[in-house]
Structure 1
């Protein structure tokens, strides 16, 4: 067990507070949170005997002001690389290698309805373009498609645009990201060309979600729902619309801090804190059967 002498909470809190003030997408909230962390440190709240417990306590405080679930002091059992974002990237790579590149299931159901599961995350596009393109091309000739995001925890916005490109006919504005750094705005569009064959923008499309569906997986769901392209089936999603970066503040602790916010061009807002309300609400465990039945009824019509 890590001792207090080894852990030294004060430098961890000081660095986390500094990073908040410098990078958090909402500067006023960053100041409030930094003050809260310093006050809790002075009160002795963070005098705990393990990095894991410190991460839990600080995360609860970070999320106490505006409920931003991307805002965390994340504990890692293995030592965290010092480069920004390296901890998350290392974990992603392990998951990529054990999930067929993020498309662990492609199946054809009765009636010509295909299922493509994307999990556990939408991996960086430079890794994922080939396996995702192969999976979506394989499903392109199906009569209807069910995209299963129930176990997807997020990932790369560029990969969101890549997947959407297989499900639309025309180049389409999907999202605008407002970054704190440089006060930049960056639009995301579907691609004019994709490797392989498109499923296209007219055949029935259903997206399955759960209360675990989060972040970039929510963006994929929200983009398709707001465009009227997909029927969303399942549970309300987790509610994380702020892309984040990660900084190592201790050998086993990573401060993850949102650095931007999403704005959908159709709704003019996003799903932060509220999650995405499905079009058809049901238990996540029942959503595949429900979507399949909906697809068969639609095809029968």
Structure 2
């Protein structure tokens, strides 16, 4: 470790300060603090730096508190440590999304009039609405839709609500709520009244999931399943239901702190720690074929 690099003790202290200040479950903070300081005193982090330190501390965080969003992340490019530049990681996420076509990887027209959209991340509506609308425009004339979230690693709750809005007729469906620790407020998420592309109604929707599907990707899958609007095909998802803020610990290390929790208006709970279970469980690499076959059966076609 370079002599001028922050020590593991400094990194753990700063991470714990952020967790204490912002974690959505303040009653769990003492257990997290005790666990990490015990590991630190035992020398568990001696000689570790960079990604190895982040991975080890993350494993201990999640052992002390099984929340998949509690993490230390390493990044090669230095980040600003100036408090005025902090925005919970939103600017960095927006830049990432611009480079990744707002999370929409590809569209395909499958045999039998079935549409297919591959979504890798969930964009903010403010920047992603047009791209998402373009994808939904492409499938507007299909007879069934496969929405592939197998590689969707998360994104914006507002974007998840926008994706879901396409599958309901108007703005009268209350999708879920998000409770935020800061201020003790609860924000309601409803379907949108205006969308940049036609809604996808009265046709079957199949959502593909895997053990990689996470966070906002799980939000879409869980919400559509709970409201009876989609059939989930694939594997149980990873299990992260807490919207998260990101805070710099060093120029290269960020701590992610869940600052809110999602509450389904249908189930009264969420998928944290357990994931979203598919309706048709199959290995992830077989999910597309299975969903396509189900779609063709539903709309009266065969694979031949």
Q: What TM-score comes out, normalization by structure 2 length?
A: 0.93
In 1, Cα distance between the equivalents of 2:293 and 2:27?
Answer: 48
Q: Where do 1:99-248 residues align within 5 Å?
A: 99-119=100-120, 121-171=121-171, 172-200=173-201, 202-248=202-248
Q: Give the superposition deviation at 1:93.
A: 2.0
Of 82-91 and 253-262, the range deviating more from structure 2: 82-91
* Secondary structure of residue in 2 paired with 1:63: helix
SS in 1 for 2:189: strand
1:262-301: CA deviation from partner (whole Å, max 9, x where unpaired)? 1101011100000011000001111111111101111018
Residue 85 of structure 1 and its aligned partner are, at CA, apart by 4.8
CA-CA distance at 1:96 after TM superposition: 3.4
Contact 2:176 2:188 in 1 (8 A): yes
Matches within 5 A, 1:1-301: 2-3=1-2, 5-82=4-81, 83-85=85-87, 89-90=91-92, 93-97=95-99, 99-119=100-120, 121-171=121-171, 172-200=173-201, 202-300=202-300
Q: Which moved more, 1:163-172 or 1:229-238?
A: 163-172
The answer as to whether partners of 1:226 and 1:266 remain within 8 angstroms in 2 is: yes
Once residues 4 and 265 of structure 1 are traced to their aligned partners in structure 2, the CA distance between those partners, rounded to angstroms, is: 52
For each residue in 1:76-102, what CA deviation from the matched residue of structure 2 results, as whole angstroms up to 9, or x when unmatched?
1221233335657426523532x3322
Give the 3-state SS of the residue equivalent to 1:232 in structure 2.
strand
Kindly indicate whether the alpha-carbon contact (under 8 Å) linking 1:115 and 1:147 is maintained by their aligned counterparts in 2: yes
**Which range moves more in the overlay, 100-109 or 3-12?**
3-12
1:50-106, CA deviations, whole angstroms, 9 ceiling, x for partnerless residues? Answer: 222221121111101231110001111221233335657426523532x33221211
Tell me the secondary structure at the aligned position of residue 30 of structure 2. helix
Question: Secondary structure, in 3 states, of the residue corresponding to 1:6?
Answer: coil
- CA distance change for structure 1 residues 259 and 91 in 2, over 3 Å: closer, same or farther? closer
Structure 1: tracts of 5 or more residues without a match: none
Q: CA RMSD of the aligned region, Å?
A: 1.6
Unaligned runs of 5+ in 2: none
Report the CA distance between 1:126 and its aligned residue: 1.7
Question: TM-score of the superposition, structure 1-length normalised?
Answer: 0.94
Q: Tell me the distance in 2 between the aligned counterparts of 1:203 and 1:96.
A: 31
Number of matched pairs: 297
Residue deviations 1:111-159 (CA, integer Å, cap 9, x gap): 110001111x112222211100111122111111110111100100111
Query: For residues 288 and 260 of structure 2, what CA distance do their matches in structure 1 show?
Result: 33
* Structure 1 residues 37 and 66, CA gap change in structure 2 (3 angstroms): closer
* Cα distance in 1, alignment partners of residues 87 and 40 from structure 2: 26
Distance 2:90 2:253 in 1: 12
Is the 1:96–1:123 Cα contact (8 Å) retained in structure 2?
A: no
Aligned-partner Cα distance in 1 for 2:255–2:10: 13
Secondary structure in 2 aligned to 1:64?
A: helix
SS at match of 1:74: strand
